[in-house]
Amino acid sequence: MVTIKDVARHAGVSVTTVSRVLNNSQHPISPETRERVLAAIKELGFYPNAMARSLQLHETKTIGLILPDIANPYYPGIVRGVEDVAHERGYTVILCNTDRSRERTKEYLRVLREKRVDGVIFTGGGAVEDASREHFFDQGPVATVVIGRHKANLPAVQVDNVRAAQEAVEHLLHLGHRRIATVTGPAVSTTARDRLEGYRRAMEAEGVEIEPGWIIEGDFEFNSGYQAVAQMPLSGNQRITAIFAHNDLMAIGAIKALYERGIKVPEEVAVVGFDNIPLASFVTPALSTVAVPVYDLGVTAMKVLAELLAGRKVPPVTTLATHLEVRESSILK
């Protein structure tokens, strides 16, 4: 293995000079000496010892990104946003997919501590609650940003899920629907709780009493939206005429179940989702949905984290705007 001493010997300089070049030190070094050191590094194939550098500089230039489900099309946009900014600023991202498992979350938190990451981005308040439960924040300060709403005293980047869900249901109400069912996310999810609150507010503001069986808990996956349809009144005078799903995957699952039952969307049952994943505009009928700026969530979260790492103050909450993307699943065109 080539060492820094080998590079110094090959370039005819001191180890200190090589170290200064590697660390972009402000100490004056002539252009000729710098070029000689860089040439020696290239010729010898020298790679600095990252752990040794991190101990010396008190930073590892790595951050952890904790996700609940990388298979969900919602999250890759966030990952891309985080990684684009991280790459620009010289950070490497350690991706931690928990599959919504507390045990996996616990394991990843341990690994991130061992790796001495400079900071962590959590997606979702549930992950932060798990981290608090495991005393992750008690073991020493780690710069932390959360994408989503949470109760901890940590900077957050989020959208207004309550208001966005309310607007989605108001859209259905304005179309004349009154018997509107909703397929929620898991009850432990702060996102699901907020979107359910938005549904309730819209219905109550219009004077519509929510009947038993209209609120069905799902898990943000295709299959739970598909299965939820079987629990809904779909015939007779009490049949539902619209569905608001808490994400696009469940909305698409519901559309498939309706199609298999010979129920036309939106002629007989209108459907609105949430997130505006890429698939939403390609399904038939194209899905009306709340458009969430997922890439910008990742970009903003990493920018906020970089500010924290630079020792600067950041706002406690940064809220990004959403909008309702109206397509054929709610209105015939």
Looking up tokens 């359910």, which residue turns up?
Answer: 196
Distance CA 256, CA 140 (A): 49
The answer to whether 293 touches 319, Cβ cutoff 8 Å, is no
- Cα–Cα distance, 247 to 194 (Å, whole number): 13
Using one digit for the tens of pLDDT, what is the confidence trace for 123-140? 987 778 778 777 787 777
Amino acid making up residue 228: A
Q: Is residue 70 within 8 Å of 95, Cβ to Cβ?
A: yes
Residue 51, pLDDT above cutoff 60: no
Q: State pTM to two decimals.
A: 0.82
Residue 210: pLDDT above 90? yes
Measured distance CA(112)–CA(312) in Å, rounded: 23
Instruction: Report whether pLDDT(116) > 90.
Output: no
pLDDT tens-digit map of 167-198: 999 999 999 999 999 999 998 888 999 999 99
Q: What tens digit of pLDDT does each residue of 19-46 get?
A: 888 777 778 889 999 999 999 988 888 8
User: Is it the case that residue 158 has pLDDT exceeding 60?
Assistant: yes
- Please check whether residue 220 is in contact with residue 195, taking contact to mean a CB–CB distance below 8 angstroms: no
Query: If pLDDT is split at 50, 70 and 90, which confidence band does 55 have?
Result: very low
Q: CA torsion sign, 87 to 91 to 92 to 93?
A: negative
Q: pLDDT (tens digit, 9 = 90+) per residue, 292-324?
A: 999 999 999 999 999 999 999 999 999 999 999
User: At a CB cut-off of 8 Å and minimum separation 6, what does 88 contact?
Assistant: none
